[in-house]
Amino acid sequence: MRDSEFEFIRNLVYERSRINLGPEKRELVTARLGKRLRATRLSSIGDYCRLLRAPDAEQELNDLIDVISTNHTFFFREPAHFDFLRQHVIPEIRARQRDRDRHLTVWSAACASGEEPYSIAITLADNLPDVPWKVVAHDISFHALEKARVAIYPEDSVAQLPAQLVRTHFQRGYGPEAGNVRVRPEIRERVTFLQQNLLDADAQMPEPVQVIFCRNLMIYFDRPTQTELVARLTRHLLPGGYLFVGHAESLTHIDHALKSVQAAVYRRAA
């Protein structure tokens, strides 16, 4: 990949998604673009750049963002966050005096292929059976969301989970689906998936929520974008609500209005 081609791709991805592809990402970008070259049957990255410049390239631009954005995740990733949800957030919801305040909405703001919002929903189903709750999930990737909505995963993806949890919340596949599991309908129907870029000016955010999971997303952004994202998330967090970020992330070096509660957990003032 020529320097000019990398700069074109880098600037285009930043413009469309605000993902910041530094020079150290050049090999990764080259590898990811190989998938699009095969899909479009083009022989060079130069040809692919010309395709992206075409007036009717909107779908390919979406496919480019899909292939560049990292969607690696797994069920109950960073389990301390789910412990916090069980041990602190859910008891607070239960302790509310008025019935109309005893509900919980959790926003999975970068949900990838669905393992995170389903892990949240399973935690709520197991620990908050008598209080209304729902999970709203967003991601920029069309393909990741298609997988999330179908909710079919390799059986290996739940191999490390407690056997009782798997029996309760997953269906094992048979015939052509042997070797796969599917999240049960009573969990799937409590999760709403929507495609959008959180940083778009016209992004349709959910109503203010009590909990936001936005984990392992800020690491792909530059400092100004991180600051903008946290400000947007904070505006959609109810007073006293919690923001969970990835354990590899920190709000230390950006301006924000949240208080650190524990590692990678922040709270808006009540």
Q: Which of 16, 32, 102, 182 is catalytic?
A: 32
188-218 as b/e: b if 16+ CB within 10 A = bebbebeeeebeeeeeebbeebbbbbbbbbb
Active site residue 10: no
Judged on CB neighbours under 10 Å (0-12, 13-18, 19+), 16 is: middle
**Taking Cα atoms as reference points, which of 204, 202, 69 lies closest to residue 142?**
69
d(CA 101, CA 269): 18
Q: Which of 10, 18, 36, 139 is catalytic?
A: 139
Phi, psi of 212 (to 5 degrees): -125, 125
- Calculate ∠ Cα 87-91-92, nearest 5°: 115
Distance from CA of residue 107 to its chain's centroid? 9
Report the number of secondary-structure helices (H) and strands (E) in the chain. Answer: 11, 10
Active site residue 32: yes
Structure tokens at 182: 């599917």
d(CA 33, CA 28): 9
Instruction: List active site positions.
Output: 32, 139
